[in-house]
Structures are given as structure tokens and as C-alpha cells.
């Protein structure tokens, strides 16, 4: 019970109660025993100060209790205490570490297997019901039209980039015999190729230098909501990606990664389709989503790969309406529904509505 975890340290929570009760007791003692008539001015100042601090302490204790026991929501990095609780409550992984049911190696007769391969966007980061993710909605679409003929596999893990996705695709083809791969591409799939230093590493969550935020759920919340968004590695994240796409050497290396996936599918006569998933919210000045998506779209088209750009799908929508919460820009249930509709029209139009 004293160890840390999704609910923080018990001893630290007890200290909140001790400090709050101590403030209330000292305030009561002051008004009960302090000779305020003799020291009218100083008594007024001290009394008002104690009342203010006591009220502040009660408010802080209430906030600490809320963020420790009630608040359950993700953040962009998934490291805050509410985010840890969210993952503990809402994610169940199969034996391969993917957020999906257990897959059988032997493909059922007469069934077409489709593997949706991606990162946290396809994983359903921040979405409680797996059935609300776009790969699952696509599966539900197949089930309505022709039950039992298609099996959709969600092969996604948070943090996966293009380099990390090649081997799982090989496994899906050679071990599980998938007939189709839908690569769910996000523009940060290039990030492992970008330069990083100890001082500037946008992949690593910012950490405070002077305190351990996990000792208090309130402090943890304030750190991740106030300090983290202002960190250079966070506010400059999308510009960092833009610089990577603008670097000819990095872009060439990334194309080689993507081509390795294309060639793997071709060698095994597996259909490859690509969905370009947009960022819901973008920081910085140099990151131009339309230009980057156009470059990616052109690359896949030049290699005869069917590609769908979902950037126009979210155009005209308020970003906050498409985010899982105000602090996490992963696509929510509405965004996933929009994606599913666009995917159906682009890839599976023969299924009808």
C-alpha cells in the first residue's frame, strides 16, 4: 500500500490529510486562544491569513482526492497517474501485446484476413471501447454485409514507427496468412530517424528536475497540464518532424523503410493499402500537414499502392470535437467514425452502406 503506482503513494496522501487537519486545528486554536483584542491589527492579519490558508488547504485536499481516485484520462505521453489508471482499466492485450482478441495461427477456411498495422492512433489510445476504433468499425461493417467472411486484426502498439512495423507485417503475412495489410500511417512514423540529443529528445516525456510529481496527484496533474505543454520538446515537436521530412537524407531513408513494407507485401501477393492519419492538433510553424501528406501520397501512388488521405476528412471540424480529451489530441470516437466512413468509400465501396 505504501508503494507507488496508478494511485500514487499512500503515505503522501496521508500527509495531505495531516497538513490540512493541522491547518484547521491551528486556525481554530488561534481564534480560540489568541488575545485578539490586545493585538487587534496583527490578530486581524494573522486570522485572515490562517483562514485563507485553511480554505486553500481544503481545496487542495479535495483536488488531490479527485485526481487520485476519480480522474481517469489519457495524456499525450501516457505517463501521468490518471493515464496509468486509464490503461489499467480500459486496455487488455493479447499474447503478442496488441489490444485485440487472441488470434489463431490457422486461418479459418473461406475467411479473408485483414491486418490494420499502426501506432497509438490505430490502437485506440484514449478510446474505452475497442469496438469504437476504426479497424473494429470496419470489421463491424463487414459483419453486417457478409458475416463470418472477413477477420480484422488490430496490429498496433503505441510508439511504433515504420521501422518497428516491418517485422510485425512479416509475421502477419508468414505466420498468420493475412490477405491484406492496411498500413495506418501517421506523420510521426518517421521520428526514430530524426536526430535527438540528451537535451532535446521529443520522444522522451519531459521530467521535472526539482521534484517527483508522482508523490502528489495534484502536483502530477499540474505538471502535465501546465509545465509539459510548454517544454521545448513538446511545443517544438511538429516542427521537429517537419525538419525531418525536409531533410533529403532522412526522407530517403524513410522511403526505403516504406518500400521494404511494399516489397514484402508484393513478394507474398498480399494487398497493401495505406491510410494517412492526420494529427488532430498541430503546434509550431514549419509543420504543414497538407504538404507532408501530399509527399507521402505521391510516394505511395508512384509505387502503385492504394492510399487514402484522411486530412480532408477532418477539415472543417473543430479539433476539440475530435480529441479524446482537452489534453490529449488522439482521435476520439467521432473521429474514428469519420475515418471509417472514408475508408469504406475509398477501399470497400462495393459493400454499400
DSSP β-bridge partners for residue 180: 114, 271
Q: E-strand spans in the chain?
A: 112-118, 150-156, 180-186, 271-277, 306-309, 323-325, 328-331
Q: Which residues of 40-77 are buried (b: 16+ CB within 10 A; e: fewer)?
A: eeebeeeeeebeeebeebeebbebbbebbeebbebbbb
Closest CA to 345 of 270, 266, 275, 261: 275
| Spans of the chain below 70 pLDDT | 1-13, 36-38, 40, 351-353
Contact 172, 197 (CB under 8 A): no
Contact 179, 271 (CB under 8 A): yes
Residue 1 is predicted with a pLDDT of: 34
> Angle of helix 289-302 relative to helix 237-246, nearest 10 degrees?
40
Residue 242 is predicted with a pLDDT of: 97
Reported as a single tens digit per residue, the pLDDT across 122-149 is: 999 999 999 999 999 999 999 999 999 9
Spatial separation of the C-alpha atoms in residues 226 and 231, rounded to whole Å: 9
Residue 31 is predicted with a pLDDT of: 77
Cα three-residue angle 167-173-174, rounded to 5 degrees: 85
Domain boundaries, the chain: 10-69, 93-199+230-351
> CA gyration radius for the chain?
26
Residue 13 is placed in which grid cell? 496522501
Domain 93-199+230-351, CATH: 3.40.50.1110
Measured torsion, CA atoms of residues 270, 276, 280, 282, in degrees rounded to the nearest 10: 130
Reported as a single tens digit per residue, the pLDDT across 163-217 is: 999 999 999 999 999 999 999 999 999 999 999 999 999 999 998 877 777 778 8
Residue 147 is placed in which grid cell? 458475416
Amino acid at each position: 500500500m505504501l508503494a507507488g503506482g496508478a494511485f500514487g503513494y499512500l503515505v503522501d496522501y496521508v500527509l495531505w490529510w495531516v497538513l490540512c487537519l493541522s491547518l484547521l486545528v491551528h486556525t481554530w486554536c488561534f481564534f480560540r486562544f489568541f488575545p485578539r483584542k490586545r493585538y487587534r491589527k496583527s490578530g486581524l492579519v494573522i486570522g485572515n491569513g490562517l483562514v485563507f490558508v485553511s480554505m486553500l488547504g481544503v481545496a487542495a485536499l479535495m483536488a488531490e482526492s479527485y485526481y487520485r481516485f476519480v480522474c481517469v484520462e489519457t495524456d499525450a505521453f501516457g505517463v501521468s497517474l490518471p493515464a496509468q489508471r486509464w490503461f489499467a482499466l480500459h486496455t487488455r492485450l493479447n499474447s503478442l501485446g496488441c489490444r485485440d482478441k487472441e488470434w489463431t495461427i490457422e486461418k479459418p477456411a473461406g475467411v479473408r484476413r485483414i491486418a490494420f498495422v499502426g501506432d497509438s492512433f490505430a490502437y485506440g489510445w484514449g478510446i474505452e471501447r475497442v469496438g469504437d476504433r476504426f479497424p473494429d468499425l470496419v470489421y463491424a461493417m463487414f459483419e453486417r454485409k457478409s458475416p463470418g467472411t472477413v477477420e480484422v486484426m488490430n496490429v498496433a502498439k503505441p510508439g511504433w514507427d515504420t521501422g518497428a512495423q516491418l517485422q510485425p507485417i512479416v509475421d502477419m503475412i508468414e505466420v498468420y496468412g493475412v490477405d491484406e495489410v492496411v498500413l495506418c500511417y501517421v506523420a510521426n512514423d518517421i521520428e526514430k530517424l530524426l536526430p535527438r540529443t540528451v537535451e532535446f529528445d521529443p520522444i522522451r516525456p519531459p521530467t521535472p528536475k526539482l521534484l517527483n510529481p508522482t508523490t502528489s496527484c495534484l502536483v502530477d496533474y499540474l505538471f502535465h497540464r501546465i509545465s509539459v505543454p510548454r517544454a521545448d520538446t513538446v511545443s517544438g515537436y511538429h516542427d521537429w518532424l517537419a525538419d525531418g521530412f525536409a531533410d533529403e537524407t532522412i526522407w530517403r531513408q524513410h522511403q526505403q523503410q516504406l518500400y521494404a513494407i511494399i516489397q514484402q507485401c508484393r513478394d507474398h501477393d498480399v494487398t497493401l493499402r495505406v491510410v494517412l492519419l492526420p494529427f488532430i492538433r498541430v503546434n509550431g510553424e514549419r509543420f504543414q500537414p497538407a504538404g507532408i501528406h501530399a509527399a507521402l501520397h505521391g510516394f505511395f501512388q508512384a509505387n502503385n499502392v492504394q492510399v487514402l488521405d484522411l486530412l480532408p476528412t477532418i477539415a472543417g471540424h473543430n479539433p476539440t470535437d475530435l480529441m479524446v480529451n482537452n489534453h490529449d489530441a488522439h482521435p476520439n470516437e467521432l473521429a474514428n467514425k469519420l475515418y471509417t466512413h472514408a475508408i469504406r468509400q475509398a477501399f470497400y465501396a462495393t459493400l454499400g452502406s
